[in-house]
Structure 1
């Protein structure tokens, strides 16, 4: 058995073992084993395939965690779930672009009208699940987009009302929540609930000019990454002095731009590359070939940033190290991607100014 075949065998074996985990500690250990196999495959297989494998691992862990929590809820005296529910993810997990060190971005959709029994059960369930995922290696979201939070854990009718509220307010914060929601993906539980949620999300979105402009307004916020001479702006101070933030410098601006276009043209794909391919099929926007290539570059650079391992789990700052930036090829690829980001950003700013003039 050669190295590639060995990696594939270990890969399948580690996946299979995740589903059999019966406790948070066992699930954490199995995650550690699986990610070690994935690290061996990094830069050996294409980055798109590698990301799919990483996110398949995350999904398997989430499904196993849901099962463990259901058992823990019974042991704690809550009994079985009082109704159907769906565990959903947002952010990079929703787009199937989570790294080996991504944090939590998730929620719950509960079947039927709200009542006291459901509220008690799923409040405890969401809190317990978020804690278990933290034990398994997923840090809690600083923005509190988690199933332990009431805003992201509610019945389908409550979700529908909340989505409508966000669509109608057109202010920065509710639009931010709406944008987060656009990446929602079903992972465990009742898929029909997630499907109905999706329909509620898209209802009234098409042709809503004011809402689209509000989404665009949120999208164009972006920190400068090139100076007037087109040189890459690195961090000047702090722990990452001399380095470059690939996540917020390239990856997030590309994600945000493609998401905006997808919402504008009714593309319902979740992954950024899937959205790019569908937009190309529709022929709705220039630069899409360049965006796809730069996005793959951003993914590759991001997953290769220096990481720290503690107790078998990884963390990273998402900064390209100063030493790596001395590599001419890396710097050339980075600068090319940043020039594209700047070009798209300027085009979106012009689009927003034109839209606001028409509204005034």
Structure 2
């Protein structure tokens, strides 16, 4: 990071002692970053922005841990790993970001009261969620969050849960399994997250029927380009003429790359890292990987432009690019990127079905 003001603000995050100070720093950093967005390299901007989110969330967890001690709950009784899912897990958060998270803690030894350990981490997760809300991260609307008991468990509990999920070809369960694929540790003991991921990929290879269901979920969102090459924009309502960048461009591409990565046993979670890993493993040609990466960077940049501050003082995003921004040049770039996304979806469909035969 070359900006000295940003570097100074980042340094202050690591010493902030409460949620209010972290919220103030977040606002200052994001205002600074918003002004840099038009001229910045999208990949570097994304790395800096997600580095900020990681630093704020990790410090928020530290503040929550100190709050647990002040409440008389003591320190964590066993090591833990705090996990991020969704765009946080992929390191692709925009200025707006909610809490998609999970708590993973080590199996308590026989000498410990397992129920008391479970209660500690459930309470700890609730404090973390509240702290992060104060910093400006609203809870996940789908309740994929560490304060939900289903997403707060010991390593063995998580492994048993994954085993059960892999035996059920239900749509919602398959969605959870895809969410886990994007998970990464933001704070705590990395070895716990690595052991969980290893168990996840071993289960995936043993359950081809789940991969078929993953394919159906992956292709749920269609690329918004018509059969004659036209952009498919919103037709009605206050956002008429806008293009749904999130669900009509970004999500179809990242979902397709994710499924390719899962089938290839690739542990990386960010889309660009997955593309590079697929190329290095010989599963994508140099030309295809460059084409997919270029389309992804375009969609990522446009998605960043859909974030804005809300009246409540948080950051929100409709995921839609206003029609007024769709210049002739941008429309041409978008059409090229969307054609790439559509081609990728067809490729994933053919390859996955071919492996399942």
Smaller-chain TM-score bracket: over 0.9
**Structure 2: distance between partners of 1:304 and 1:82:** 43
**Could you say if the C-alpha distance between residues 277 and 162 of structure 1 is closer, same or farther in structure 2, counting changes exceeding 3 Å?**
same
State which of 76, 88, 91 in structure 2 corresponds to 1:93: 88
- Please give the per-residue CA displacement for 1:300-352, whole angstroms capped at 9, x wherever unaligned: 11112262354664222121101112x10111111111122222223334456
**Could you say if the C-alpha distance between residues 33 and 163 of structure 1 is closer, same or farther in structure 2, counting changes exceeding 3 Å?**
same
**Structure 2: distance between partners of 1:161 and 1:207:** 15
Aligned to 2:244: 245
**Structure 2: distance between partners of 1:74 and 1:207:** 43
Aligned to 1:23: 18
Q: TM-score, normalised by structure 2?
A: 0.92
Aligned to 1:347: 347
Higher RCO by CA contacts (8 Å cutoff, separation 6 or greater): 2
Q: TM-score, normalised by structure 1?
A: 0.92
Alignment of 1:1-360 (within 5 A): 8-113=3-108, 115-206=114-205, 208-223=207-222, 225-285=224-284, 287-305=288-306, 307-310=308-311, 313-325=314-326, 327-351=327-351, 358=357
Q: Secondary structure at the match of 1:198?
A: helix
Q: Secondary structure at the match of 1:187?
A: strand
Q: Please state how far the C-alpha of 1:265 moved relative to its aligned partner.
A: 1.2
Q: Please state how far the C-alpha of 1:285 moved relative to its aligned partner.
A: 3.5
Q: Please say if residues 222 and 252 of structure 2, whose CA atoms lie closer than 8 Å, have aligned partners that are also in contact.
A: no
Q: Please say if residues 65 and 133 of structure 1, whose CA atoms lie closer than 8 Å, have aligned partners that are also in contact.
A: yes
**Structure 2: distance between partners of 1:222 and 1:58:** 27
Q: Please say if residues 95 and 308 of structure 2, whose CA atoms lie closer than 8 Å, have aligned partners that are also in contact.
A: no
**Structure 1: distance between partners of 2:180 and 2:238:** 33
Q: Please state how far the C-alpha of 1:217 moved relative to its aligned partner.
A: 2.1
Q: Secondary structure at the match of 2:104?
A: strand
Pairs aligned (count): 351
- Please give the per-residue CA displacement for 1:98-155, whole angstroms capped at 9, x wherever unaligned: 1110211111111114822112211111111111111111111011111101111101
- Please give the per-residue CA displacement for 1:36-55, whole angstroms capped at 9, x wherever unaligned: 22223213231111111111
Q: Please say if residues 197 and 267 of structure 2, whose CA atoms lie closer than 8 Å, have aligned partners that are also in contact.
A: no
Q: Which runs of 5+ in 2 are unaligned?
A: none
Bigger drift between 246-255 and 70-79 goes to 70-79
Bigger drift between 96-105 and 115-124 goes to 115-124
Q: Secondary structure at the match of 2:203?
A: coil
**Structure 2: distance between partners of 1:239 and 1:121:** 47
